[in-house]
Chains A and B, each alone.
Chain A
Amino acid sequence: MFGLRASVMKSAIIVPTMFSQQTRNTFILRRRWPPPLHKKGGKVPKMKGRHFVYDLVEDTSVKKKPDIRIVLNQFVEGVGTTGDVLTLHLNKAYENFILPGLAVYANPENLEKYKTYEKRPLEENTHSSPFVKRTMDCLHRLVLRVTMSNSEPWTLQPWHLKASFRKSGFVVPESAIEMPPVQIKGPDPNLLDKEFYVTVTINKKEKVHVRCRIYHWAAGQEQLPFEESYWKKPKQPLIPEQAEVLQKFPYQNE
């Protein structure tokens, strides 16, 4: 088989340019009967009916288009920073990133232009990382339950809070936790309806306040009664200086 492939174009009607639109509807065909050969520069023999019989090889309009790579040219919250390469679906990449001007196509020139370096200076007015805002929102909504013993005497330490964060599903190193100005000691029944806040520093830059409540743990019979949706009910501030900030926290309404 010669394996000749021919493209079928739209019908060759001459139309004014304002009506011609681009349509990408290439069909890849193969001739069933080989056409007659001729010498170079020689007379081209007349093609017969059988030479215009084609078999369909591929319809390019039904083939799935591959995802494209784009390079961010600025800091985008929740996605990435300058120079990050994303692989996205065609339409999503165009509508959400290229059209608003947040990214460009990932050709070698653009990749070189927006190349990232390990220690590049932080852009002004942006977070230290694209996911810091999400972390800050999560921590802002959180009401941390700090489970302390009902029987043994204790003083609240950063590692207590670190362990409580880990139990609640947050990784917070001890160095990032800033304790309240007043030392909290217990076990103390006065702490039952009180709350305070601690400050968490993300990437040594952004600060966010996290509400905390002490829960006195006693195994077995002496356990406190079950409080439904305790995080939806506001409580009194433990430390008077913190009252102002604690009032501004959001509470979910039932």
Chain B
Amino acid sequence: MISEGSSFIKGMLLGGLFCAVVTLLGDFNKGHQSTTDHHHHHHHIQAPSEEELLKLPEPKRLELSQNIRVYCAILVQPRELSYWAAVKETWSKHCDKAEFYSSENVKVFHSVNLDTKDKWLMLRNALKHAYANGKGYSWYFVALPSTFAIIENLKFFLLNKDPGQPFYIGHTVKSGELEYAELEGGLVLSVEALRRLVGVFSDNVKCPEQGSALWKLTEEKELAVCLKYTGVFAENAEDSEGKEIFNTKSVNALIKEALAEKPQEVVKGCCSDVAITFHGQSPNHMQVLMYGVYRLRPYGHTFHDSLIFLPPVDSDND
């Protein structure tokens, strides 16, 4: 009996040991695989969650906020000069870098001269330039001068996303099989998505300069087609309540829609509290939005935000 008992115990111990060895070996193999993947595809550590962030001291949170760097590429034409001026004076000051890409050289403002009026060519060359000159930026935001953007809300939205992964985000629309982000609402590419895009630009079959179809697609659609070839797909951005945060309409237009469709809850129903873009605002109205977003507020309401963004230097309208 004693010998049987000891046999049982020996057996159990050996069985347990055997199982542990097998499991650990298996896990080690998996782990090894993921680390090699890690080395190939992303060199960035994922940002911590908001709860974890709030526990950090303020200087550390400020540092983390400053690590999300956004390069803004704004595509302009000389006939939109009043919008161009408004963007220069307003929201673009909140980009870590704002570069204006123009169809031709304009004396009044500095811009990167793309020397073409073709919109697809403009977009291609602007993104190529942005990638070549934008070292150290993790996100690339593309906009038109008739768009108004709140870069802080864009950074908040991008907080938990790894720029080493391919992201292509905006206000998306489906055209047949193709889902693309509308340029009017602004769109954002991670550095990895941009890297792949610049790579496929040299492929004249998949992503030709003259456009991929027999008839001309809009530049936003061409972009989607090229990105699709690299395995990058457009994603629509929404807040926690399902509201759009990249908007292709002005606040005014959205309110009119809400009045017609949801008259009981116009303000809450129209737009997100953390909206990133609006489109179709007049240059003067952009000044109103700067005041409304960065200054005007009700006394006695404070927010305990996990990120900290300081006001830009040399600016007085925010």
- Do A and B form a real pair? no
Interface residues in chain B, defined as those with a beta carbon under 8 Å from any beta carbon in chain A: none
Chain A contact residues, CB within 8 Å of chain B: none
